[in-house]
Amino acid sequence: MSLRGVIAYVGVGSNLEEPLRQCRLAIRNLAAVKDTRLLRTSAFYRTEPVGVSEQDAFINAVAEIRTGLPARTLLEALKAIEQEMGRRESIRWGPRIIDLDILLYGQDIAQEDDLVIPHPELHKRRFVLVPLCEICSYAIHPAFGISMQGLLIRLEKDDRSAVVKIEQIAG
């Protein structure tokens, strides 16, 4: 792949069937997407569930990619990875084997029924902002004009949910 393309950030999360293994597999699958190169990933974090509290903790991370795919095609590739890994639709914010979300796609803003960029909950979620700040604290939210670090600082005044870096285990 050439050096052309868009830098995008993808949120990765799981809380079912060995979540750390599921997240690692999803990142490997993401790295294999056509016209896409995995540039780096954050550490993995154990996080409290949001929305539905009666479920196991999640493992979350963020991947930075360079992609030549349009945002819509990237979304389709992420949905295909989720399906291949066994994700089934369930209750909103409920347990899942894998969850892949486009957080940022360059400085693009999209507002469609099934494609909203930047991710509409990004600025409200410590489990997204902490790993995102690990790899791109300087990135500017295209709609708010505030850095990821600035969003995290604002959020931490009200949100103390647990986001704990875990040891990365080979495999």
Q: Which member of 96, 126, 159, 160 is catalytic?
A: 96
56 is catalytic: no
88 is catalytic: no
Peptide bond into 118 cis (omega under 30): yes
Q: Which member of 24, 46, 87, 125 is catalytic?
A: 87
Q: Which member of 4, 72, 92, 101 is catalytic?
A: 101
Across-strand partners of 40? Answer: 64
Q: Which member of 99, 108, 158, 159 is catalytic?
A: 99
35 is catalytic: no
Nearest to 163 by CA among 44, 54, 63: 44
Q: Is the dihedral of CA 77, 6, 123, 116 positive or negative?
A: negative
CA angle 21, 119, 2 (to 5 degrees): 75
159 is catalytic: no
Q: What amino acid positions are annotated as catalytic residues? A: 87, 96, 99, 101
